[in-house]
Structure 1
């Protein structure tokens, strides 16, 4: 696994130190440390880490609230906690965290959790990107179909002929078919 830039947030200094040593020993960079949730959010905005490791129970803003905020910033989160009760796990599920470790944390637990969490986050990024691309392609196809229908009705030709006309006009104007379709639709409205 490649070197990651990691933010650590825990109100206990010794735990932060232990985690930092484990991470640095594994070749990661600890870009920032926070002892409360608000500071963690500020540091995440400043340093844009690859991943954040957050304690659930912190002053000012708990780790679950911080995880929600970091999710909107596109930063994956692993939660650390002394609490393994169902209510915390259920809340963690709802804020899109990528890992949940119960203290005390060992290197044997932490490093694989980081690797898996980061891999899942990257997979989610790829899925999100593909979804956005697919949505854009679908929108483009709808626009071209609408423009073909408008041309066919206006010119009294078949949709196939309208499609050919659309392609030739786009080539003549040196613009994409989608851009020309948008222009035709705007003119018709």
Structure 2
């Protein structure tokens, strides 16, 4: 597996350097680093990281608002923070954070959080792709069923014969069954 590219946004330089060192030692690529949320958003747009690690309290745009923007950019986020109060955790849940580490950050906790967060992100992406494909397939089946009933009615044939007719027509015109079906519906 290729190493992940990670953006770090942490306003405390020493902590940011420690996180960077741990990640690079583990084989990850730190593609960008900064100390505030606005800059993190700009760097994310420029470098397209596969994961972002954010502090909650940063100047300008806080980490939770930044995480919300990262979610919109389809980039998973891990929060690294000194705040463990329920209100912060609840806000992190609301902005789709994939990991939450309370400082001080240990190497073990950071590396485990990165692996788990990215694995969950990959799972979610896979499920979304399957959902999209299933929706498209269902939509095609609806169109085909509608066209089949139109052909059945127009030619006074059975549903099976209408389906066979659609298949032959699709092969003859070198089109998919769904394309032929759509053409029939559009012409009605």
TM-score bin (small chain) = over 0.9
Which residue of structure 2 aligns with residue 109 of structure 1?
Answer: 109
Residues of 2 paired with 1:113 and 1:2: CA distance?
18
Residues of 1 paired with 2:2 and 2:109: CA distance?
18
Displacement, 1:114? 0.4
Q: Deviations over 1:11-54 (max 9, x none)?
A: 11111111011111111111001111000000000000010000
Moved over 2 A (4+): none
Displacement, 1:57? 0.9
Which residue of structure 1 aligns with residue 31 of structure 2?
Answer: 31
Residues of 1 paired with 2:2 and 2:54: CA distance?
21
Residues of 1 paired with 2:62 and 2:138: CA distance?
41
Which residue of structure 2 aligns with residue 16 of structure 1?
Answer: 16
What's the RMSD between the two structures over aligned residues?
0.9
Displacement, 1:166? 0.5
- TM value normalised by structure 2: 0.98
> Is 1:73–2:80 an aligned residue pair?
no
Residues of 2 paired with 1:108 and 1:21: CA distance?
13
Displacement, 1:160? 1.1
> Is 1:183–2:186 an aligned residue pair?
no
Which residue of structure 1 aligns with residue 54 of structure 2?
Answer: 54
Displacement, 1:159? 1.2
Displacement, 1:2? 4.3
- TM value normalised by structure 1: 0.97
Which residue of structure 2 aligns with residue 168 of structure 1?
Answer: 168
Residues of 2 paired with 1:30 and 1:172: CA distance?
54
Which residue of structure 2 aligns with residue 84 of structure 1?
Answer: 84
Residues of 2 paired with 1:170 and 1:113: CA distance?
51
Specify every segment of 5 or more residues in structure 1 that has no aligned partner in the other structure, as ranges: none
Residues of 2 paired with 1:136 and 1:145: CA distance?
14
Report the 3-state secondary structure (helix = DSSP H, G, I; strand = E; otherwise coil) of the residue aligned with 1:3: coil
Residues of 2 paired with 1:185 and 1:78: CA distance?
49
Residues of 2 paired with 1:113 and 1:69: CA distance?
20
Q: Deviations over 1:99-150 (max 9, x none)?
A: 0000110101100110111111101111011000100100110110010011
Which residue of structure 1 aligns with residue 64 of structure 2?
Answer: 64
